[in-house]
Amino acid sequence: MSIEEKLVKKLISKGLKISAAESCTGGLISEMITRVSGSSAVFECGVCSYSNKIKINVVGVTHGTIDKYTEVSIPCAEEMAEGVRKLSGADIGISTTGVAGPTGGTEENPVGTVYVGFSTKDGVFAEKKNFNEDHCDDRIIIRKRCAEYCLEKVYSMLSE
């Protein structure tokens, strides 16, 4: 059984709903969840918040966060996760913002760096992850690794 199938089954069993605000994954998390039959019972919305304009105007990231920390940061990922959860009324919000590559990396955020955010009624947190640990600058692989990580993380959180 795939991680998305396991997650949808777990969300259904717990009566929970999930939403995603995705930048560098470009809707892949939403696609993975909605490819599962029955996901309409648990998936509220996916926002492909690729531009800062959408991060701010739709998802609720503040101008101050972008100005002070940039869109590739822990605070931005946290605000995206919280914003999409509140926008949709879901129980869980997920977010991704980072550098899928193969261009665009910096010393602080090299290609493969993604900030993943998670929001529930109990709180918000984000992590800085490296999905290019094997120096694979393949955009498709980095996005897939990130999306799978997010689904696995939520599944793990629900299994605790």
Instruction: Give me the CATH code for the 3-154 domain, please.
Output: 3.90.950.20
User: Using 50, 70 and 90 to split pLDDT, how confident is the model at 36?
Assistant: very high
What is the value of pTM for the model shown? 0.97
Map out the domains of the chain as residue ranges. Answer: 3-154
List phi, psi (to 5°) of 27: 95, 0
Q: Omega of the bond prior to 102 within 30 degrees of 0, cis?
A: yes
Q: How far apart are CA 135 and CA 95, in angstroms?
A: 24
List phi, psi (to 5°) of 147: -60, -45
pLDDT in tens, 37-95: 999 999 999 999 999 999 999 999 999 999 999 999 999 999 999 999 999 999 999 99
Q: How far apart are CA 146 and CA 131, in angstroms?
A: 7
